[in-house]
């Protein structure tokens, strides 16, 4: 008789449920650590919130260890490890939070009623903050990103179709190259476009900026599309093929429509990736103070607006830079939310 | 009673009410068809799957009782498992695999080493200490898993199909080894098997889930 | 897709014919052949772009390699001399390459422990709904533009690091790398490295999370059934299984840190000397050199910037090739 192996659905287990007492002990340790951290803060004069955190961060694992000391060396090690992991995570989120808070605080100073609709055509950067605006930079950024999307999305999807659908001989190589391309430094992409588009077509232009962005966007689009296409069930493909459809027809009428929202996610992810790229635009689209939609001329963009205002050293210009950072952050956040909305649609399917 | 379970076990869609207990020195064989929940019993006692209701006790300590929210973590339960698929750590050699449980319980390196060596001698694997699991035969791996469970001197030994992953020749040798090991084991043993021959050869009691 | 047999309808019923064995290629209809060729052509776009980047930068920067040879990479001097006479120029990116490497190493050393902690926390310590939130936050931070990191690093992190640097130098100044003879702190490799570290934590975390989540669940169970605590099981099973994946993820982060421009431009003082004193306000990296010099570069200097770009391109490509290979390999093993 052959050996029968019992098959159970692979349900993830949770061997590490915390008991109530552990939870209480941890809470007590946190509270105690914060209090003692505060006390040290007062005595030694470490600065503010960071000093408090630093004190608490070092004391928390110690207190956790003391609280569990009765339970043997291994339990103590385990609890210290948990405490260190928690502290490590919190330590890295503090600067991230600080970025969001700082940009919001300083950025809102530059805002006035027509900030989003005015440009800097007749306003020097050092002028009072109620004059001028950021409309030209928003329009320029959106325009270049749009053109970059139009260029990179077809190529990204084609690369994904080649890897997943056609399963060509070079599928592994293409995937490898796409991954390598995602590591190209953005300034190098900028230099490349400068050395080709800018030099050949005689000057900085929105076109050049868009081409540079599309190079940086392509790998994100291709890799996400690849993941998305893999979600299409084999049944769907074979049933289309069984009805006599060519593979081309299957891809265009069955596969791509099925995962359309996933491919949109891929495109939006690519947009979110490049909307804040600064370095390549310095070398390609340069900067312009007025609102422009002419793709053959230099054009303003949010990152360069921030970058150039920051370089002036003037107080009002710096405030404008922060205002630009807030708008840019808002844009990134908007595209990020879009990806969440579209990707939640894939899951529901 | 060394171990007693009274309540409903379950995993996913599957659920089953049970009531049994095993005293020290006894071997309870649990038989049943596929999907009757044999492995789930082992996993529930080990603490890898929670009980649906009722309670699980060992030596008058409640390990799992969802109604009164009592729960002892798997690492704090005085039991040891030989899994059906063995689950030896593939990146650790034989002696590290066996010593793992002792080290986890805070035994010093030297003591863990000598106790593990002694147990490996008992299961006849003395010269295999530095080999990796994938360099062993099925029967040898089974012995390592057995040694790894016994070395921590559990109160409850849980064996999930200990002879299933083994070829016919090693099975005979293990059939000889197992009664000897179980006979000298002081705690309670629960043996899951689909082979009625095993039940007769090894167990005092049996429980059929059919 | 060709059907295994063909069915043809004749006047009096159905006739079935079994064709001879065909090779897979012959199975394609003409439409599909065209489709395959077009898709294959499009898929090689990425290779064309990569080759074009290398090719054009080499073409534009070739003169520099010819004039300076290997000293372009080793020399630290950047002097265009008499703009009218290119033979008076001495150009080398040694200091900038060194700066790229030292800031990236600081970034990696700082970020790896935090990335590991974050990955372990997300995969093994928090319940599902918190996990979803944390993953979203990490994705968002990964999408933050480097200019936003840069402006924050300049305004918020710079004064803090300046304070810390003074303290560190006071107590540990006898160690060469913490020594600052100039007593000028601030826009130092430490600041730039710290900022880069914050930028690459999400990258390393997401790779680490992926490989940790693939650690065999049964072995984790086995470890806890034998008495291993949570940390015991993580150390025995998860960390060893994720090791090579973590190395790959770290290299991806390294590649990103090596090529960063704006964040480094804003937080590191561009000085053409090899500076290993990480608290001192001097350094630079290849990318920020290009951004700094580009605006007012002479034609000859521009060629040097192209050459510098090529060097940066090749270095990051190499690091990324390595990283990709290690990550892919670890995916296969797990």
DSSP C237-292: IIHHHHHHHHHHHHHHHHHHHHH--HHHHHHS-B-SS----TTSS-B--HHHHHHH
CA of residue B3 relative to chain centroid, distance: 13
The label of the residue with tokens 């990179």 reads A152
Residue ranges of B 95-134 with Cβ closer than 8 A to chain A:
104-106
Q: Total domain count for chain C?
A: 1
- The terminus-to-terminus CA distance of chain C in angstroms comes to 33
3-class secondary structure, A243 = coil
Q: Which A residues 68-97 touch B at CB under 8 Å?
A: 72-74
Contact status, residue C258 vs residue C309, Cβ threshold 8 Å: no
Q: According to the model, what pLDDT value does residue C4 have? A: 40
Chain C residues with beta carbon closer than 8 angstroms to that of A253: none
- Residues C24, C2: Cα–Cα separation, whole Å: 9
Give CA–CA dist A63/C121, Å, rounded.
Answer: 20
Q: What is the dihedral of CA C282, C288, C294, C296, to 10 degrees?
A: -20
In whole angstroms, give the CA distance from residue C11 to residue A36: 96
CA dist C207 and C245 (Å) reads: 7
Is C145 inside any structural domain? Answer: yes
Half-sphere exposure of A110 (CA within 13 A, CB side): 28
From chain B, pick out residues whose CB is under 8 angstroms from the CB of A15.
47-48, 73-75
Separation of alpha carbons B149 and B159, rounded Å? 9
CATH number of the domain enclosing B65: 3.40.50.300
**Selected residue of B106, B160, B161 to mutate for chain A interface (largest A Cβ count, 10 A):** B106
Partners of C240 on chain B (C-beta within 8 Å) are: 91
**Dist. CA A173–CA A153, nearest whole Å:** 20
- Asked if pLDDT for residue C19 goes beyond 70, the answer is no
pLDDT at B106 over 70: yes
Chain B residue numbers with beta carbons less than 8 Å from the beta carbon of A74 are 104-106
Cβ contact (<8 Å) for A9 and B12? yes
CA angle C59, C61, C62 (to 5 degrees): 65
Q: Which of A76, A94, A185 to mutate to test the interface with C (most CBs of C within 10 A)?
A: A185
Q: How many domains in chain B?
A: 1
Q: What is the pLDDT of residue A298?
A: 93
Among the residue ranges A326-335, C180-189, C322-331, the one predicted with the least confidence is C322-331
CB pairs A-B closer than 8 Å: 48
Q: Which A residues 262-291 touch C at CB under 8 Å?
A: 272-273, 275-279, 282-283
Which chain A residues are closer than 8 Å to B162 by Cβ? none
Cβ–Cβ below 8 Å for C240 and B91: yes
Cβ distance C225 to B85 less than 8 Å, yes or no, reads: no
CB contact under 8 A, A186 and C261: yes
Dig out the tokens for C55 from the structure: 């090719």
B69 to A20: CB separation less than 8 angstroms, yes or no: yes
pLDDT at C312: 96
Report, as an integer, the average pLDDT of A322-343. Answer: 93
Q: Is residue B178 part of a domain?
A: no
- Residue C119 maps to a domain: yes
Residue extents of the structural domains in chain A: 20-109, 135-348
Closest Cβ–Cβ partner in A5, A13, A73 for B48: A13
In tens, the pLDDT along C164-217 reads 888 888 888 899 889 888 888 889 999 999 999 999 999 999 999 989 988 888
Classify residue B5 as exposed, middle or buried by CB count within 10 Å of its CB (0-12, 13-18, 19+).
buried
d(CA C120, CA C201): 13
To the question of pTM greater than 0.90 for the whole model, the response is no
Burial C75-87 (b: 16+ CB within 10 A, else e): bbebebeeeeebe
Nearest CB partner across the interface for C227, out of B43, B48, B152: B152
Measured between CA atoms, the residue of chain B closest to residue A17 is: B73
C133, part of any domain: yes
Residue A47 has a pLDDT of: 62
Q: Residue C307 is part of which domain span?
A: 94-333
Is B203 a member of any domain? yes
Q: What is the mean pLDDT of residues C10-27?
A: 48
* CATH number assigned to the domain comprising residue C243: 1.10.3720.10
Residue B64 falls inside a structural domain = yes
8 Å CB contact between A276 and C199: no
Give the separation between CA A213 and CA A146, rounded to whole angstroms: 10
Is the predicted pLDDT of residue A246 greater than 60, yes or no? yes
Q: How far apart are CA B142 and CA B163, in angstroms?
A: 8
Question: Does residue B34 register a pLDDT over 90?
Answer: no
Stretch B98-122: mean pLDDT? 91
> How confident is the model over A233-241, as a mean pLDDT?
82
Q: Which of B12, B47, B194 sits opposite A4 (nearest CB)?
A: B194
- Range 178-237 of A in CB contact (< 8 A) with C: 178-189, 191-192, 195-196, 215, 218-219, 222
User: Contact B106/A73, CB-based, under 8 Å?
Assistant: yes
What is the structure's pLDDT at A45? 57
Distance from CA of C236 to the nearest CA of B (A): 8
Find where tokens 């066996």 sit: B98
Within-domain flag for C58: no
- Write phi, then psi, for A292 (nearest 5 degrees): -145, 145
Determine which helix (DSSP H) or strand (DSSP E) holds C322, and give its type and residue range.
helix C299-333
Supply the range of the domain harboring residue B194. Answer: 1-78+186-210
Using the Cβ of A330 and the Cβ atoms of chain C, whether some distance falls under 8 Å is answered with no
Q: Using CA coordinates, name the residue in chain A closest to C326.
A: A176
Mean pLDDT of chain C: 87
Of residues A2 and A96, the one with the higher pLDDT is A96
Residues of C in contact with A332 (CB under 8 A): 140, 143-145
Rounded distance, CA C100 to CA A130, Å? Answer: 41
Q: Is residue B134 situated within a structural domain?
A: no
Letter string b/e over residues A310-326, b meaning 16 or more CB atoms within 10 A of that residue's CB: beeeeebbbbbbbbbbb
Evaluate whether A241 touches A250 at the Cβ level (below 8 Å). yes
Task: Provide the 8-state DSSP code for B160.
Answer: E
Q: Which helix H or strand E contains C8, and what residues bound it?
A: strand C6-10
Q: Does residue C27 have a pLDDT over 70? A: no
The answer to whether the beta carbons of residues A280 and A301 sit under 8 Å apart is no
Helices (H) and strands (E) in chain C, counts: 14, 4
Give Cβ neighbours of residue A128 (< 8 Å, ≥ 6 apart). A316
Cβ-based contacts of A238 with chain C (< 8 Å): 1
C269, C182 Cβ separation under 8 angstroms: no
Chain B interface includes C32 (CB < 8 A):
no
pLDDT at A4: 35
- For the residues A115-139, what does the mean pLDDT come to? 89
CA-to-CA dists, residue B55 to A81, B67, B69, B72, C141, angstroms: 32, 8, 10, 12, 46
Would the CA dihedral through A213, A214, A220, A225 be positive or negative?
A: positive
List all chains that touch chain C, counting a touch as 3 or more CB pairs closer than 8 Å.
A, B
Core vs surface per residue B87-106: b (16+ CB within 10 A) or e:
bbbebbbbbbbbbbbbbbbe
Arithmetic mean of pLDDT, A82-91: 91
CA B113 to CA C140: how far, in whole Å? 49
Q: In this structure, is residue B87 part of a structural domain?
A: no
Tell me the average pLDDT across C117-133.
Answer: 92
Residue C58 structure tokens: 């080499």
Q: Which chains touch A (3 or more CB pairs under 8 A)?
A: B, C
Q: Cβ separation of B100 and C226 shorter than 8 Å?
A: yes
CB B58 within 8 A of CB B33: no
pLDDT of residue A7: 40
Tokens of A216: 């940086």
Asked if residue C9 has pLDDT above 50, the reply is no
Residues 6+ apart with CB under 8 A from A50: A94, C160
Q: What is the CATH number of domain A135-348?
A: 1.10.3720.10
Q: How far is B186 from chain C (nearest CA, A)?
A: 18
């Amino acid at each position: 008789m052959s050996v029968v192996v019992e098959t159970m659905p692979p349900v993830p287990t949770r061997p590490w449920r915390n008991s109530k007492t552990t939870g209480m002990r941890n809470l007590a340790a946190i509270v105690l650590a914060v209090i003692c951290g505060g006390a040290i803060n007062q005595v030694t004069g470490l600065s503010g919130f960071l000093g408090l955190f630093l004190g608490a961060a070092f004391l928390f694992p110690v207190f956790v260890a003391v609280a569990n000391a009765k339970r043997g060396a291994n339990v103590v090690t385990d609890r210290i490890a948990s405490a260190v992991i928690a502290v490590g995570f919190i330590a890295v989120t503090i600067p991230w939070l600080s970025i969001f808070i700082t940009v919001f605080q300083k950025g809102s100073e530059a805002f006035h009623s027509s900030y989003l609709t005015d440009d800097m055509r007749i306003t020097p950067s050092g002028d009072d903050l109620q004059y001028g605006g950021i409309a030209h930079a928003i329009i320029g950024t959106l325009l270049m990103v749009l053109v970059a999307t139009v260029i990179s999305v077809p190529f990204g999807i084609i690369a994904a179709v080649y890897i997943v659908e056609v399963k060509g001989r070079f599928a592994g190589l293409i995937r490898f190259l796409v991954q390598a391309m995602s590591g190209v430094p953005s300034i190098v992409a900028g230099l490349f476009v400068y050395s080709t588009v800018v030099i050949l077509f005689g000057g900085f232009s929105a076109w050049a900026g868009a081409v540079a962005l599309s190079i940086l966007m392509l790998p994100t689009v291709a890799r996400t599309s690849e993941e998305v296409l893999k979600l299409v069930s084999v049944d769907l493909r074979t049933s289309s093929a069984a009805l006599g459809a060519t593979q081309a027809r299957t891809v265009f009428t069955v596969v791509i429509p099925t995962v359309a929202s996933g491919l949109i996610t891929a495109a939006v992810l690519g947009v979110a990736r490049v909307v804040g790229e600064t370095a390549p635009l310095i070398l390609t689209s340069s900067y312009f103070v007025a609102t422009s939609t002419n793709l053959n001329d230099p054009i303003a963009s949010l990152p360069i607006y921030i970058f150039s205002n920051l370089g002036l050293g003037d107080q009002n210009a710096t405030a404008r830079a922060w205002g630009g950072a807030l708008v840019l952050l808002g844009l990134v956040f908007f595209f990020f939310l879009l990806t969440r909305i579209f990707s939640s649609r894939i899951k529901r399917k | 009673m060394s171990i007693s379970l009274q309540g409903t076990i379950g995993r996913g869609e599957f659920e089953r009410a049970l009531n049994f207990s095993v005293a020290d020195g006894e071997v309870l064989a649990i038989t049943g068809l596929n999907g009757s929940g044999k492995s789930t019993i082992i996993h529930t006692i080990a603490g890898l799957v929670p009980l649906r209701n009722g309670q699980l006790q060992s030596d008058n300590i409640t390990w799992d009782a969802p109604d009164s929210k009592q729960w002892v973590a798997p690492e704090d339960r005085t039991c040891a498992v030989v899994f059906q698929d063995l689950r030896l750590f593939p990146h650790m050699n034989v002696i590290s695999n066996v010593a793992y449980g002792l080290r986890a319980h805070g035994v010093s390196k030297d003591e863990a080493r000598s106790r593990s060596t002694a147990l490996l001698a008992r299961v006849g694997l003395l010269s295999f200490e530095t080999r990796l699991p994938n360099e062993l035969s099925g029967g040898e791996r089974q012995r390592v898993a057995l040694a790894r469970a016994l070395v921590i001197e559990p109160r409850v030994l849980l064996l999930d199909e200990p002879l299933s992953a083994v070829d016919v020749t090693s099975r005979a040798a293990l059939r000889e080894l197992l009664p000897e090991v179980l006979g000298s084991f002081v705690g309670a043993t629960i043996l899951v098997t689909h082979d009625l021959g095993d039940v007769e050869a090894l167990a005092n009691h049996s429980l059929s889930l059919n | 897709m060709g059907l295994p047999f063909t069915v043809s309808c004749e006047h009096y019923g159905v006739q079935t014919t079994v064709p001879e064995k065909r090779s897979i290629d012959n199975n394609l209809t003409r439409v599909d052949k065209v489709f395959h060729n077009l898709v294959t052509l499009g898929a090689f776009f990425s290779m064309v772009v990569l080759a074009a980047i290398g090719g054009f930068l080499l073409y534009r920067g070739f003169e520099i390699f010819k004039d300076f040879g290997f000293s372009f990479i080793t020399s630290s001097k950047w002097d265009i001399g008499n703009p009218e006479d290119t033979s008076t120029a001495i150009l080398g990116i040694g200091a900038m390459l060194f700066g790229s490497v030292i800031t990236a190493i600081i970034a990696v050393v700082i970020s790896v422990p935090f990335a590991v902690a974050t990955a372990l926390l997300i995969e093994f310590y928090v319940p599902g709904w918190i996990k979803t939130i944390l993953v979203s936050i990490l994705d968002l931070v990964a999408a933050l533009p480097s200019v936003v990191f840069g402006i924050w690093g300049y305004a918020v992190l710079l004064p803090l690091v300046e304070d810390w640097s003074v303290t560190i130098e006071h107590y540990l100044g006898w160690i060469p790398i913490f020594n600052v003879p100039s007593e000028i702190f601030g826009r130092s490799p430490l600041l730039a490295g710290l900022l880069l570290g914050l930028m690459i934590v999400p990258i390393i975390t997401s790779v680490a999370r992926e490989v940790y989540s693939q650690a065999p669940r049964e072995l984790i169970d086995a470890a806890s059934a034998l008495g291993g605590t949570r940390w015991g099981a993580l150390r025995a099973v998860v960390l060893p299984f994720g090791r090579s994946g973590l190395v790959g993820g770290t290299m991806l982060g390294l590649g990103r840190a090596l090529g960063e421009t704006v964040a480094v431009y804003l937080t590191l003082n561009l000085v053409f000397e090899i500076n290993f004193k990480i608290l001192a306000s001097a350094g630079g990296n290849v990318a920020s050199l290009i951004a700094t010099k580009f605006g007012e570069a002479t034609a000859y200097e521009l060629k040097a910037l192209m050459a510098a770009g090529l060097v940066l391109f090749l270095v990051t490509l190499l690091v990324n090739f390595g990283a990709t290979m290690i990550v892919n390999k670890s995916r296969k093993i797990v």
